Amino acid sequence: MAKKLFIVPKAKPLAKLRLFCFSYAGGSPATYMSWANHIHADVELVLVQLPGRGERIREAAYTSMDDIIRELLTQQDYITSKPYVLFGHSLGARVAWELALNIAESGGKLPLHLIASGSGA
């Protein structure tokens, strides 16, 4: 697992499901950090941290969706290693959608759900 790309506030090795959360443009993993205190015991919260955000603030932010998806796909085995859900808000919804499409195109295991908020169809 890429430690910089993903933040797991409370590791749950026996979790039955992972919830990957993608922030809005300008947002950071801190947006979802409090969810760790309220999420079901069988769910492991995984916060996506892209360059230019959070602990990666000193890294140049990506300027294209292709660059974002390329980095995420380097961790496809981790993402799909157990049942998972993708949640994104605004730009994060679009990133989650593109990730799911790319995983589908590669024949990978799809998320159980893709939850998009704050973004048009």
Residues carrying an active site annotation? 90
Question: What CA–CA distance (Å, rounded) separates 85 from 68?
Answer: 18
Q: Which 8-state DSSP code applies to residue 118?
A: S
As a whole number of angstroms, the distance between CA 101 and CA 108 comes to 10
Handedness of CA 56, 18, 33, 21 (dihedral sign): positive
Kind of pairing between the strands at 84-89 and 113-117: parallel
Task: Please say whether the beta carbons of 90 and 21 come within 8 A.
Answer: no
